[in-house]
Structure 1
Amino acid sequence: MNRIFKYSICLILLFSVSQLVAQEIKWELIAPGVWKGSVGKPESYNLLTAAGAKPAINGLKDMGEASFPLVKEEITGKLTDGKTYLRFPLDKNEQIYGFGLNFQTVHQRGKILKLHVDHFGGKDNGRTHAPTPFYVSSNGYGVFVNSARYLDIYAGTAVKREGKNVPEAKDRNTDKTWSSRPYSDGVEILVPAEGVEFYVFAGPKPLDAIRRYNLLNGGGVLPPRWGLGFTQRVKTLYTSADVEAEVKAFEDKGFPLDFIGLEPGWQSKAYPCTFEWDKTRFPEPSAFVKSLLNKGIRVNLWTNPYVSPQASIYNSIKPFTADRTVWLGAIPDLTMPEARDILFSQLKKSQVDIGVSGYKFDEVDGYDHYLWPDLTTFPSGKSAEQMRQTYGLLIQRYSAEMYHERNQRTYGLVRGSNGGGASMPYVIYNDYYNHEDFITALINSGFAGVLWTPEARASKTEEEWLRRMQSVVFSPMAMINAWSTGTKPWSYPKVEQQVKDIALLRMQMMPYWYSEFAKYHFQGIPPFRAMNLEDGYQADVKKEIKTTNLEENPYVEAVSKEVKDQYMAGEYLLVAPMFAGKETRTVILPKGKWFDFYTGAYAGDGEVITVTPGLDKIPVYVKDGGIVPMGPALMHAPKSTEKLDLEIRYYGSKPGKYMLYDDDGETFNYEKGAYSFREINVAKDGNGKLKTAISGAAKGKPNTINKVSFKAMTK
């Protein structure tokens, strides 16, 4: 018996040791500069399968070949306790960015996170609307972990007992250089599954790695032109007459409007939803939608996906729903074709087929107290955890497919997303309302492969309202969300004219915004992104900024200051928002000459400037040689058959080039080649006279451009 006992103990010990042995990583070259690694037995359901993401191969090929950016032997994977442990090397002078839609921090080194789809709760702890498991390094590479699980991230926090970069232990009593957070040379990720696949993206620059990540996910979304216009979301219980009166007020006051958002009151019941029109508030839905379309106004409908017991589809969809509810509504298992067919057939029949142009999908993120718990079961067999991490992806994917089948682009709102969702035609929003943090989220959206809107709802003062509206104009969706307040653009009379001016500027800039989104789609370049992705950017400071929810980060060697309040918008623009109560602010200009967007005046070169822009303007700067195509200040985005005169604005003195995108603005015909990039070139000769050129319209391609003029902004 004793011998058998000892033999059993040996087997147990041998099994335990084997569980800790490093696993072989299988590598596969997916596309130029993109490698897939796999450890153990990766789960078949992951973020990319949920999103249905298909790599934009042509865009990846256009980026060209690149060398593997890390030492493969320093990337390790282990299986232990039924979980997969990944470790990636981290240099001492390296900063990392990403890990989802964070609202308060841009630098992620030294952070411990639990990546978990949730409503943002006030701290950057990994629980957020899009906890994308992708990070990019200042050394010019990226890493994406393709798992639909809650991931534990140790972003340079744990120190191995033995390794090549183990720091020296110091005596806190006598050594002033002692740190409670000593240098760690690894990013460590714990995946609660017996295997996982992950991707490594080459640079050579950080922006190149981000581009490859976005292109792996199909490239960024290309919205319809009208999606880049203005949207007003009306009060919850508005009737069709109320909506029509509001549309008339926009027209009478000369404020642009492209799509109007109806909130829960359009449905007969909400929280949970029937997905059916309320006939007391909207007695003739088809006529109502058609009437607005005839005026150039699209309709966007709020909903959440939880099915009311009073819904006409409840009994048929019930077998394909979870065993728990949300607000007593059934939760469709969107991984099952049966559930999707029932739900989206209802949306198609009663809404899309009569002309509804898009949706706002609410409550697919959190909180825990109303969303399904992790013990919930789904009829497909997918775990509640996997469904939580991917539900936002699923609702985006299959609603977008409805419109794709109609050859009709859409652009809407969603509360939850994740890795794989870059090509989805949705912008994230939430119920948080801190202006400064909204800008930080906009910056971080460029690392997460998502879009974010710093929407305006209401304000305590006229100044705050104007400052918020200025930020809205330089964002992916120019939106007022008045579901509760009923706020209008003109609700603050003292700044009504300034709000109108900035709204019209948004419409004038439509050619620029549309071209920048085309580059997002075809080239993977985020239209809104962090300053550290801009060539020549260097914020040289001695100390890392503290945050409200994190100890001081000791990695002062990680290149630059954490800048959370200015960003790049498209190829040439640097935007530095103003916040209520602030008359001046500092702006960090990258190396190279920069010029004032409004006047063309020289602003600086690789320096920190202090500006006092006045209430009327949000500080915006253009790099030397910058070209910004401008159109007329229309009340609605141009129609597919409409030709517009363009004014090409040119800044500085350096020769400039710009690729101006054109297609019909509404359909998916661009996927079949019905688009063009027209090259614009501007330079000054020895006498300061402009030399200009724009390539001709491609034969057989859409052409929405009429007369073209050029304007030198810098005298």
Structure 2
Amino acid sequence: MKNFKCYLLFCLLLSFAAASNAQSIIWTEVEPGIWKGIIGKPEEFDLLKTAGVQPYEAGLLQMPKAGFPLLQQEIIGRVQDGKTYLRFPLEKKEQLFGFGLNFQGVFQRGKVLTLHVDNYAGKDNGRTHAPTPFYVSSNGYGVFINSARYINVYAGTAVRRDSKIPPDLKDRNLDKTWNSHPYSDGVEMLVPAAGAEIYVFAGPTALDAVRRYNLLNGGGCLPPRWGLGFTQRMQRLTDAQGVKDEAKAFEEKGYPLDFIGLEPGWQSKSYPCTFEWDASRFPDPKGLVQEMMKMSIRLNLWTNPYVSPQAPVYKDVLPYSGSHTVWNGIVPDISMPEARKIFFGELEKGKIDIGISGYKMDEVDGGDNYLWPDVAVFPSGHAAEQMRQTYGLMMQRYTAEIYHNRNQRTFGLVRASNGGGSSFPYVIYNDYYDHRDFITALVNSGFAGVLWTPEVRSSKTGEEWLRRFQSNVFSPMAMINAWASGTKPWSFPEVAEQVKAMANLRMQMMPYWYGEFAKYHFQGIPPFRAMYLEDGFGNAEAKTEKKQLNLEENPYEEAITKEVKDQYMAGEYLLVAPMFAGETSRKVILPKGKWYDFYTGKYAGDGEVISVTPGLDKIPVYVKDGGIIPMMPVMLHAPKAKQKVDIEIRYYGNKPGAYFLYDDDGETYDYEKGSYTFRKITVQKVNGKLKGSITPAPNGKPDNVGKVSFKAMTDF
């Protein structure tokens, strides 16, 4: 008995010691509905400072007022052994989303992750192109850890001895409900630094939390109009004549094209890079750029940041480079102003200053067997780990600044991003090529504060080519990446006309896409996002026990409890449900409220699971009741600044509808100075007739709208 009392006393002392190690977190409301917490001594070099963005105050002030969404005393932290331990409360039925750009799952509860910038290798373990340390709860709040370190996450997996709601004790031998993963009531994180800066975002909805996160980071990016057109990336050793021939072929065959991407062969040497034009393939770069611009086609250049000993800037940037090389190229320490001046000056000289529209920035993500190791040393004193977590951010920031200083918008590609990067005009891509996982990544991109393209590169059949192309059209960047294969939109003749129809649809929908990206910037609403952020989409409760479902009575009940990762919202009104090669039909889960077929306007359903057989020519798309989709005529190129374009307002359903049509010059940053308009469109059915209106553009504001017509897609 005496020994047992000693044991209890020992346990109590241990518990007291553990509790006494907990340190207070100092909370301050820094923006409406956003609180910053400080524990220990956070590092100066963090994600938000590296990104260098400022909160978009006007957007944040429009958000609903909200109180702190959690009990502050239940957020626990301590600094020990030079590391920061954090714990956030988690309710029993709460589901978690986010933790970066994941490719295979949307539900993150129950995951153990290490948030680490890397090329995606086929497993959702935290090593990905954008391991944003931001998660969102189905209870309507978000949490962001502003650290440029590899963060270990236990997303409802670890069970504390002193848990308020401990899991039930079960006997594995006799109890069939025994589970090797018992219920956990906390999200725990380990930050390898002696302090951390924490942000908590209020809702009241999960979408509101996402919006606040994006607005804290400056608001989402607003691409130029031409960035939302179609892009073709050339085979890697294409020359100037090949570029001209490609542009002419697109025009002659009637396929839209807004920018062409040049791959490694534009440089005299690559892997490592010289950053100079190859004189044999491109003897007159400026002349080529000018000739393409006359055809309304821009050029985008591939590069990676690793400097060849044969590069003109090698000796200048050498003192400002890391201790290790990548493919025998030095790694500029672009966290240093001296290195940035040399390196980004080279990207501007003879490239941006002759009219190059943007960059594709490759190989800034990872691959431990070729990127710099964590033992590398950089002259700035920043750890190799911190450089790994932020290099993609810095490449985006400092190239975007060049264009911003020229009052010229850009839109490009990058292999890595992180927290703080929402406003950068770049889309993430990779070398992984699973169509289904590409769609899951598109679903998750809205939780990670990034854009993602399910690019098209190659296919085994015409069917696969068309299916990939269809979903690519309903994404941030409609692109064929033919750097290796040299494929064209018409490479599969049996589906060439259907591919052209989809490319034309992309162009027709440009007013809608442009308006949705404007909402991303001004309101923080991701243009492509998970169904779980849509009103009326059931619930996302974590499964806590097996439940007998009566599927005869309600098949929708089963559908909403499963992870939905193959359909998504595109803008305010559209639900997109891609088809994959080999499929002739699929199920689509419609949120509550009436939905209509995008192509025909026919009623599709209301809060139910439907089975659809769209045929090869169409990707299933649905419009919510009262939906308004502004369309323009088919054009081979995006409208230029001050070019008037006729608009057809397509209206679906019977509910009165409203939409704010965004307009600016489409090319500059003058919108930041107020040179833009949101013109309200209203449509309703009155006495069997369609009645529509659009407010006029204010005097002195952009007005690129020509004739406006209204079309009821749904029968009266």
Provide the TM-score with structure 2 as the length reference: 0.95
**Other-structure match for 1:553:** none
Q: CA deviation at 1:163?
A: 2.4
Question: In structure 1, what is the equivalent of residue 189 of structure 2?
Answer: 189
Q: Paired residue for 2:287?
A: 287
Give the residue type in structure 2 aligned to 1:430.
N
Whether 2:635 is the aligned partner of 1:634: answer yes
Task: Pick closer, same or farther for the CA change 1:542–1:421 going to 2, 3 Å.
Answer: closer
Matches within 5 A, 1:618-657: 618-657=619-658
2:273 touches 2:304 (CA, 8 Å); kept in 1? yes
> Are 1:33 and 1:201, in contact at CA under 8 Å, matched by a contact in 2?
yes
> What is the identity, as a one-letter code, of the residue corresponding to 2:675?
A
Q: 1:570 to 1:694 in 2, by over 3 A?
A: same
Task: Give 1:356-367 correspondences, 5 Å limit.
Answer: 356-367=356-367
1:541/1:560 contact within 8 Å kept: yes
Q: Distance in 2 between matches of 1:691 and 1:86?
A: 56
Contact kept, 8 Å, 2:141 with 2:202, in 1: the verdict is yes
TM-aligned CA distance change 1:215 to 1:558, over 3 Å: farther
Contact conserved, 1:92 with 1:557, CA < 8 A, in 2? Answer: no
Alignment of 1:23-422 (within 5 A): 23-422=23-422
Letter in 1 for 2:259: F
1:689 partner amino acid: K
Label 1:380 to 1:557 Cα distance change in 2 as closer, same or farther (>3 A).
farther
Q: Distance in 2 between matches of 1:462 and 1:168?
A: 54
Structure 1 unaligned regions, length at least 5: 1-12, 545-555
In 2: Cα distance, 1:278 partner to 1:63 partner: 51
Aligned partners of 1:402, 1:683: CA distance in 2, in Å? 46
Alpha-carbon shift at residue 688 of structure 1 (Å): 2.3
- CA–CA separation in structure 2 for the residues paired with 1:523 and 1:435: 30
Structure 1 pair 540/372, CA: closer, same or farther in 2 (3 Å)? closer
Q: Secondary structure at the match of 2:582?
A: coil
Matches within 5 A, 1:421-436: 421-436=421-436
1:157-187 deviation digits (Å, cap 9, x = unpaired)? 0111012111221111111221111110000
Aligned to 1:388, what secondary structure does the other structure show?
helix
- Residues 19-28 or 581-590, more deviating: 19-28
Aligned partner letter, 1:331: V
Give the whole-Å Cα distance in 2 for the aligned partners of 1:586 and 1:558. 10
1:657-686 Cα shifts (integer Å, max 9, x gaps): 10110000000000000001000000111x
Alignment partners' CA distance in 1, 2:32 and 2:61: 6
Given that residues 559 and 609 in structure 2 are in contact (C-alpha distance below 8 angstroms), is that contact kept between their aligned partners in structure 1? no
Task: Give the distance between the partners of 1:250 and 1:591, measured in 2 at CA.
Answer: 42
SS in 2 for 1:394: helix
Query: Do the aligned partners of residues 61 and 542 (structure 1) sit closer, same or farther apart at CA in structure 2, a change above 3 Å counting?
Result: closer
| Distance in 1 of aligned mates of 2:184 and 2:700 | 58
Residue in structure 2 matched with residue 459 of structure 1 by the alignment = 459
1:572 equivalent in structure 2: 573
Taking the TM superposition and a 5 Å limit, the aligned residue runs for 1:513-662 are: 513-538=513-538, 560-662=561-663
Q: Matches of 1:680 and 1:409 in 2, distance apart?
A: 27
Displacement after TM superposition at 1:18 (Å): 8.5
Q: 1:558 to 1:76 in 2, by over 3 A?
A: farther
Secondary structure, aligned partner of 1:63: coil
Which residue number in structure 1 is paired with residue 713 of structure 2? 713
> What residue is the counterpart of 1:21 in the other structure?
21
Closer/same/farther in 2, CA of residues 59 and 539 from structure 1, 3 Å limit: closer
Distance in 2, matches of 1:566 and 1:466, equals 17
* CA displacement, residues 352-378 of structure 1 (integer Å, 9 cap, x when unaligned): 010000000000001011100000000
Q: CA RMSD in A?
A: 1.7
On the 8 A contact 2:626/2:655 being kept in 1, the answer is yes
Give 1:20 deviation, angstroms.
6.3
Shift of 1:64: 3.2
Give secondary structure in 2 for the equivalent of 1:594: strand
1:552 alignment partner in structure 2: none
Secondary structure of the residue aligned to 1:59 is helix
| 1:365-409 CA-partner distances (Å, limit 9, x unpaired) | 010111000000000000000000000000000000000000000
Q: Does 1:677 align with 2:693?
A: no
Q: Once the two structures are superposed, what CA deviation does each residue of 1:568-602 show, in whole Å capped at 9, x if it has no partner? A: 00000000000000000000000000000000000
1:621: how far off? Answer: 0.1
Structure 1 pair 587/540, CA: closer, same or farther in 2 (3 Å)? farther
SS of corresponding position for 1:571: coil
Instruction: Please tell me the residue identity of whatever aligns with 1:619.
Output: P
Distance 1:184 1:18 in 2: 19
CA distance in 2, matches of 1:485, 1:638: 30
Q: 1:701 to 1:146 in 2, by over 3 A?
A: same
List aligned pairs for 1:469-488, cutoff 5 A.
469-488=469-488
Q: How far apart are 1:541 and its partner, in Å? A: 11
Quote the Cα distance in structure 2 between the aligned partners of 1:534 and 1:182: 30
Check the 8 A contact 2:289/2:355 in 1, yes or no: yes
CA distance in structure 2 between the partners assigned to 1:540 and 1:449 by the alignment: 20
Identical pairs, percent: 70
Q: Give 1:559 shift.
A: 7.1
Cα 1:589–1:558 change in 2 (3 A) is: closer
Q: Distance between the aligned counterparts of 1:346 and 1:390, measured in 2?
A: 21
Runs of 4 or more, structure 1, over 4 Å off, are: 16-20, 539-544, 556-559
Between the aligned partners of 1:559 and 1:227, the Cα distance in structure 2 is 35
Contact kept, 8 Å, 1:322 with 1:376, in 2: the verdict is yes
- In structure 2, what is the Cα distance between the partners aligned to 1:154 and 1:434? 27
Partner residue in 1 for 2:445: 445
Q: Secondary structure at the match of 1:497?
A: helix
Displacement, 1:296? 0.2
Normalised by the length of structure 1, the TM-score is 0.95
Q: What is the distance in 1 between the residues matched to 2:589 and 2:223?
A: 31
Task: State the match for 2:553 in structure 1.
Answer: none
Query: Matched residues in 1 for 2:62 and 2:242: separation?
Result: 50
Relative to 1, partners in 2 of residues 1:676 and 1:266: Cα closer, same or farther, differing over 3 Å?
Answer: same
Deviations 1:403-462 (A, max 9, x none): 000000000000000000000000000000000000000000000000000000110000
For 2:617, the aligned partner's letter is: D
